[in-house]
Structure formats: C-alpha cells, structure tokens
C-alpha cells in the first residue's frame, strides 16, 4: 500500500527530503514550489531547485504565484492527499488548506523550536552565536511555526562553520528522518508535544543591508555575521569606494582602533581583538584566498576602513 502525499518546498535545502520520499513507498501526487525567478534584467528564468529536481524525477509540479485562489484550492482539494510534507516552501499555507489532508501538514523546520520560528532560522542561529541548532518535525497550524512537535534532532554549531554548511547538514538529517516520521504518523505512533510558546524567538528574513560590517562590534560578533550571511547575501565593508565581501575569517588577539588595517596581511581591528581574513571578494571580482588577494591588493597599514 502507498499513501498519497503532496510535497511543498523551494530551495536546495528541500531537495534531499524530496528525493528520500521518492525512494520510499509513499506516492507523491504533486510537488508545489515557488514560481521561477527572473534574473539578468529578465533575460533568464530560473526555476527553483525543487522544480528542477521534481521535473528530473518526472513528478507533477505546481508553482502558483497565489496559493489562495479558488482555482488552486480546488486543484489541491481534488488531489485528496493523506498528508502534506513541507520543507522551506517559503509561503504561508492558507488556513482553509490545513484541513484537507487526513493527517495534516508536516513541516521540517531548521531550528530547535520554539527557538527561531520564521524565515531564516539557520542564519539567525549562526549570527547570534548559538552553540547548537537542529531540525524540528512539527505539525503546521495557522500561527507561524507554532504547531506541536513530534521530534527534534540537535547538532553542535562549529564557530568556524557557515550557515551554508550547517544547512547541508540539517538538510541531510531531515531527509534521513522523514520516512520514519511518516511511518509513525500513519501507524498512529507519533506523539506531538505542544511548544513552550512563551520561549519563542523569531528569525526574521535576512535583508541585504544587514551585511555591512560594523568594526565597532567585537571580533566574535563579526565572525558570527560573516558565517551567518555565507552564502547569501554576504558580509561586507567598503574600502576606497569599493565593496569587499568577507566569506571566511577568524579571530586574532591583535588590538587597535576599530576599523584600522593593522599589518601587511590586511588584519582589521575590531572593538575587541581583530579579524584575520581567510577568503575575500572585491566588488566585480571572484572570491580569493587571502594570499592570492594580497598579490594584487593596494592598501596602507594604519588606514581606517568603513
């Protein structure tokens, strides 16, 4: 026997779970994802990673701009899914959809709920120097990421890891656990526990202007921003009217006036300690390891940068 499900997801983070479900006994009736995005002034149309994966797997794909239309509601209802699996779909599920599947909507959320509900849980955990994170398998209700949780899986956050690397780990953990979770739900073995709502924190969407580095912050906080905003949108500073993104760095004990270039290795002073750059990217150029960047760099020790 196979149980009909709908899958909803958009970014690369969701792909491993979709692939795990395809290999299982569960039948995917349809895959929902966000519409393709335009790039290069509309010259290219880029489908989501989930759309590309689903099409390669010969699955039916829907990418409506407006989920809450009468047409979409009817189509969704006519699919008659027994359960809906959601992994970073990127849009709120309208209330009237939630009662359609017999077993409800199950979400893989990339945090240890009730911490970091919302759009950017991995990035916010790294930026805020959390020591651990994980995934929560939970039931979707009308309120954002507030549904009861059936399982949490924790991992440690290495202070040198980017949010991109942590996302890869959590994506695999989610995919490794989704089939067992569905089995438990269909066999009525799953226990859902209410969240402690008073302890909830929210991971608001990352804005590009958050990427600017403030050298008046301590070095550890700046490293959190660099790692948290890698791979997107990146942490940056301006020097001689050019923008530079730091993709990887570490803390040094050197001290100086915040924002000062301290030595020939482009070490930059922070409020407390300093930043040793490992990988950097000048505006309009490729990413470079520091030793290659220094070959063509022109700067003066003692200068203060923005």
The pLDDT of residue 132 is 98
Q: Does domain 4-203 have CATH number 3.40.50.170?
A: yes
Contact 203, 117 (CB under 8 A): yes
Tens-binned pLDDT, residue by residue, of the chain (306 aa): 468 999 999 999 999 999 999 999 999 999 999 999 877 666 678 999 999 999 999 999 999 998 989 999 999 999 999 999 999 999 999 999 999 999 999 999 999 999 999 999 999 999 999 999 999 999 999 999 999 999 999 999 999 999 999 999 999 999 999 999 999 999 999 999 999 999 999 999 999 889 999 999 999 999 999 999 999 999 999 999 999 999 999 999 999 999 999 999 999 999 999 999 999 999 999 999 999 999 989 899 999 997
Contact 118, 203 (CB under 8 A): yes
Q: How far apart are CA 138 and CA 148, in angstroms?
A: 6
**Structural domain boundaries of the chain?**
4-203, 208-296
The whole-model pTM stands at 0.95
The pLDDT of residue 1 is 46
Q: Which CATH number fits domain 208-296: 3.40.190.10, 3.40.30.10, 3.10.25.10, 3.40.50.720?
A: 3.10.25.10
């Amino acid at each position: 026997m196979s149980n009909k499900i709908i899958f909803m997801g958009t970014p690369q983070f969701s792909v491993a779970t979709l692939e795990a479900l395809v290999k299982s006994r569960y039948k995917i009736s349809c895959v929902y994802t966000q519409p393709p995005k335009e790039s290069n002034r509309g010259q290219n149309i880029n489908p989501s990673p989930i759309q590309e994966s689903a099409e390669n797997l010969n699955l039916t794909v829907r990418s409506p701009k407006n989920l809450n239309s009468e047409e979409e509601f009817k189509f969704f209802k006519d699919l008659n899914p027994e359960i809906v699996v959601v992994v970073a779909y990127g849009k709120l599920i309208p209330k009237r959809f939630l009662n359609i599947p017999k077993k409800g909507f199950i979400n893989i959320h990339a945090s240890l709920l009730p911490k970091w509900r919302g759009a950017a849980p991995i990035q916010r955990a790294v930026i805020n120097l959390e020591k651990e994170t994980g995934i929560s398998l939970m039931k979707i209700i009308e309120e954002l990421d507030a549904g009861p949780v059936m399982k949490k899986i924790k991992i440690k956050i290495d202070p040198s890891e980017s949010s991109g690397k942590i996302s890869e780990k959590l994506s695999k953990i989610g995919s490794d656990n989704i089939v067992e979770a569905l089995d438990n739900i269909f066999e009525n073995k799953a226990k859902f526990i209410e969240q402690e709502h008073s302890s909830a924190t929210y991971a608001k969407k990352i804005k590009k202007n958050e990427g600017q580095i403030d050298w008046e912050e301590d070095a550890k906080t700046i490293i959190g921003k660099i790692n948290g905003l890698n791979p997107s949108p990146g942490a940056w500073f301006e020097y001689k009217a050019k923008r530079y993104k730091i993709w990887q760095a570490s803390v040094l004990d050197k001290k100086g006036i915040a924002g000062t270039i301290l030595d020939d290795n482009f070490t930059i002073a922070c409020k407390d300690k300093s930043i040793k750059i490992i990988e950097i990217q000048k505006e309009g150029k490729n990413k470079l390891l520091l030793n290659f960047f220094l070959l063509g760099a022109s700067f003066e020790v003692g200068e203060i940068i923005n």
